[in-house]
Amino acid sequence: GYHKILEENRKLYNQVQDLKGNIRVYCRVRPFLPGQSNLSTVGHIDDGSITILTPPKYGKEGHKSFTFNKVFGPFATQEEVFSDTQPLIRSVLDGYNVCIFAYGQTGAGKTYTMSGPKVLTEQSFGVNYRALNDLFHISKERKDTFCYEISVQMIEIYNEQVRDLLASDDIRNSSQTGFAVPDANSVPVTSTTEVIELMDIGQKNRAVSATSMNDRSSRSHSCLTIHVQGRELASGVVVRGCMHLVDLAGSERVNKSEVKGDRLKEAQHINKSLAALGDVISALAQKSSHIPYRNSKLTQLLQDSLGGQAKTLMFVHISPEVDAVSETLSTLKFAERVAMVELGAAQVNKDNGEVKELRLQVASLKAALAKKE
């Protein structure tokens, strides 16, 4: 029955993943915003690489190229960006865990990629909405063979403290059983509209806690987690998968001589947790025997969804402005460290895979010829 197909799918998927690797890094360049002078540090862009030009004023003049699984230029649409993310969504319904991160300095477009602009239109929906739409859509397609239950959690990590953004009396039907964030509400949902409402509540709760700071969102990580439980109707077999959509705190480095007190503490927590995330992903990419999950709250919480069979996608965002060039370079260096080993290995594997496939083709053609003779 369906279970068998699922098993086959899983095998096929694993083969594909063996070729591609479980960690992917996509780079996205934000367009210039209205009113900005459009002197760009972004030189050449193609499907998988980007060149940054460094003007003389910022030290040595020259250019530096970086390679990623995919590079989206300033004109890439939300739809295009999502279409390369879509296969991950299907795998959640097949029982895999997935993490999608948005990384980059404040203003580089993280929230735009994940949620969209402040005023949303259907075209500008971000990865969050599109992912949920797909989840509901595919689960409906499978309704004759599978019964899916989908629920969401929304948390914020600020100064290494976790806050439940859906801990509100307005939210009905919440349950608190056995999830990645044990103490956060997990709210059952049946449509994208419901999720959008919850996300609004979450956003409002986030804003409420912004005390003296004007932009809390750039100094905390926010994580939307979607839990999926599917029961195969015929066999009663249950599969569970989850997806974490994480809008990370701004990666900009803070000048220690300029900030003190709370701001300094925030900056230190952010640096530490982003570095810890980078360490975990790069240890996974290198297939290291020790993965340092325990060095930050974020990596602790996501431990079950980082590594093993789980899939990780990191969107790194950069701003095109000349003023941002040093942050841009440091963002790309971080991303390269995260991606490099895996990319190298993936390319080798891909070649091997293609060669293998061609060999098989040659063999079957030879066999066909032999039969004819």
- Mark the binding-site residues for ATP, compressed into ranges: 104-111
For residue 108, the minimal CB distance to Mg ion (Å) is 9
For residues 24 and 196, give the distance between their C-alpha atoms in angstroms, rounded to a whole number: 27
Q: Could you say which of 31, 48, 188, 353 contacts ligand ADP (CB under 6 A)?
A: 31
Could you give the residue ranges of the DSSP H alpha helices within 186-296? 192-208, 261-285
Is 247 in a helix, a strand, or coil? Answer: strand
Work out whether 104 is an interface residue with ligand ADP (CB under 6 A): yes
For residue 320, the minimal CB distance to ligand ADP (Å) is 10
Site for ligand ADP in 289-328 (CB under 6 A): 317
For residue 252, the minimal CB distance to Mg ion (Å) is 12
Residue (of 209, 249, 279) closest to 101 by Cα position? 249
Q: How far is CA 77 from CA 67, 70, 74, 131, in A?
A: 21, 14, 8, 15
Q: Could you say which of 111, 192, 282, 299 contacts Mg ion (CB under 5 A)?
A: 111
Strand order in the sheet with 49-54: 42-46, 49-54, 62-67
State the amino acid at position 23 in one-letter form: I
Tell me the residue nearest to ligand ADP as measured from the CB: 109
State the amino acid at position 100 in one-letter form: I
Is 64 in a helix, a strand, or coil? Answer: strand
- Only one of the segments 106-114, 255-263, 284-292, 352-360 lies at the binding site for ligand ADP (rule: CB under 6 A); that segment is 106-114
Work out whether 130 is an interface residue with ligand ADP (CB under 6 A): no
Work out whether 222 is an interface residue with Mg ion (CB under 5 A): no
State the amino acid at position 63 in one-letter form: H
Work out whether 117 is an interface residue with ligand ADP (CB under 6 A): yes
Work out whether 107 is an interface residue with ligand ADP (CB under 6 A): yes
* Secondary structure tally for the chain: helices H, strands E: 9, 12
Work out whether 43 is an interface residue with ligand ADP (CB under 6 A): no
Asked whether 255 and 267 are in contact (CB, 8 A), the reply is no
Of 107 and 202, which CB lies nearer to ligand ADP in the complex structure? 107
Of 189 and 318, which CB lies nearer to ligand ADP in the complex structure? 318
Of 110 and 130, which CB lies nearer to Mg ion in the complex structure? 110
Parallel, antiparallel, or unpaired: how do β-strands 62-67 and 161-164 relate? unpaired
| Both tokens assigned to 34 | 């209205």
| Both tokens assigned to 254 | 């803070």
| Contact map string, positions 297 to 316, toward Mg ion, x by CB under 5 A | --------------------
- Only one of the segments 40-48, 101-109, 178-186, 237-245 lies at the binding site for ligand ADP (rule: CB under 6 A); that segment is 101-109
| Both tokens assigned to 186 | 């997990």
Of 221 and 227, which CB lies nearer to ligand ADP in the complex structure? 221
What's 55's DSSP letter? -
Work out whether 218 is an interface residue with ligand ADP (CB under 6 A): yes
**Distance between first and last Cα of the chain:** 41
The label of the residue with tokens 């997806």 reads: 243
Of 168 and 326, which CB lies nearer to ligand ADP in the complex structure? 326
Q: How far is CA 258 from CA 219, 264, 274, in A?
A: 17, 9, 21
- Only one of the segments 10-18, 20-28, 102-110, 348-356 lies at the binding site for Mg ion (rule: CB under 5 A); that segment is 102-110
For residue 162, the minimal CB distance to Mg ion (Å) is 19
Chosen from Mg ion, ligand ADP, none, partner binding at 30 (C-beta under 5 to 8 Å by type): ligand ADP
Chain positions contacting Mg ion, by CB under 5 A: 110-111
Chain positions contacting ligand ADP, by CB under 6 A: 30-31, 33, 104, 106-112, 117, 218, 317
